[in-house]
Amino acid sequence: MPLRKRQSPLDRLLGRADDLDPANLAILVQRIARERDLLETVFNTIQEGIIVMDAAGLIEYANRAAADLTGFRESDIGKAVFWKFVPALARAVGRLPDNPAAAAPVITREVEITYPEPRHVRIHLSRLGDASTFADCDAPPRLRSSATANLAPAPPRYVAILRDITAEKISTQDLVESERINSIFTLAAGVAHELGNPLNSINIHLQVMGRRLAKLRDKAAAARLAASVSICSGEISRLDGIIHHFLEAIRPAQPDLRDVPLLGVIAEVLALVKTQCEDLGIRVSVTTGKDLPVISGDANQLKQLFFNLLKNAMEAMDKGGRIDISADADDEFVRVAVRDTGVGIERDAQSRMFDPYFTTKVGGHGLGMMVVMRILRAHGGEIGVESAPGRGTEVTVQFPQKHRRVRLLAEDGR
């Protein structure tokens, strides 16, 4: 059995509206105005957007949250069509039925809007009541049966409830991305471990061969074979070192935080790539501000970070080119920018450059920038990329100064 609507004192007054004198009518109007102001305040307090529209999408009412989410102004009410502000929803649901007898749609969609700022919004769309509700909605209770008997059914109206789920989406995406990266780390570590086993076995057999060669009577032949064995052993040691450093690079270890001068780290990395830069004819310049402060970080992880950035910059250029490194600081952060004069990065690729295994280089493994991002996050840092095809790339990383990181750790520990 349907619940009967409870009558308020205002409903009872409206039922006697035809018997009221001018003074009481004025009091009634004031009470209606107060009721309207109260409802307006309540609706504007609600964080979800509320929009009332007709079947064509013409906005008849909207609270403040709806205006903030979709970008329309108060002056648009009564003039603007809702689909203009959320075209993605219009494409998803089509035109609403303008026949009051038609089935009332109840639709929930998640859409992405770009104005006034990029957001993910969940929209719940449903009809407000049925046709009879709107036929009598503007008449006092006592007059509804007589005053509206000859009126045509009012067109239906719809309400859209909008909720901003951007933070929820980002949190979910970060969780999925974190799980995907962890699975990649586990897989890569397993592959590296499996590679290490046959390399150890080969190395043992080479040692056995070396001992037997020492017993051969043909010393000249033995020396030649021993040289080949020595080369093989050296290559195995090199591969073992590559695997070891690879595992260190991708293993999600907690940083060993100490006072680290970034310029010292950069100088060590430049010393590692100096010969390669000279062979490629790449010029490297370093520009720094005065008294660059130390940060709290893991020196080895930071070396890996800057090595990956410089390696990317070098591989983006053919013979010749230039890499400019600049560093400065403000009261909160220390920033380092690495700029190259290479081929640049397409806009579509920039949004994916931190994805595992995504690479634009022939023979690239697509893990370098993912490792950079992991190290930055572990150090509370941030990264920015500016690039255009044919104009080179500038990657800027920033780290919180030591005093700021200590303050943030203390606040997180509360």
Give the Cα separation of 90 and 33 in Å (integer): 35
Q: Where are the domains of the chain?
A: 1-45, 46-164, 174-250, 258-412
Q: Residue 316: name the closest of 338, 285, 347, 337 by CA.
A: 338
Q: Looking at residue 145, what is its pLDDT?
A: 40
Query: What are the pLDDT digits (tens) for 338-363?
Result: 999 988 888 777 767 776 666 666 55
Per CATH, the architecture of 258-412 is what? 2-Layer Sandwich (3.30)
Q: What share of the chain is helix, strand, coil (3-state, %, to 5)?
A: 50, 20, 30
Query: What are the pLDDT digits (tens) for 373-386?
Result: 888 888 888 888 88
Largest CA distance in the chain: 132
Give the Cα separation of 63 and 241 in Å (integer): 63
Q: Looking at residue 136, what is its pLDDT?
A: 44
Q: Does the domain at residues 46-164 carry the CATH identifier 3.40.50.360?
A: no
Pair 318, 282: CB distance under 8 Å? no
Q: Treating both helix axes as pointing N-terminal to C-terminal, what angle do 262-280 and 299-315 enclose, rounded to 10 degrees?
A: 30
Token digits of residue 344: 């640049």
More confident of the two residues 88 and 314: 314
With a cut of 60, say whether residue 168 has pLDDT above it: yes
> Model's pTM, two decimal places?
0.46
Residues ≥6 apart with Cβ < 8 Å to 386? 393, 394, 396
Q: Looking at residue 158, what is its pLDDT?
A: 86
Give the Cα separation of 132 and 70 in Å (integer): 31
Token digits of residue 101: 């007898």
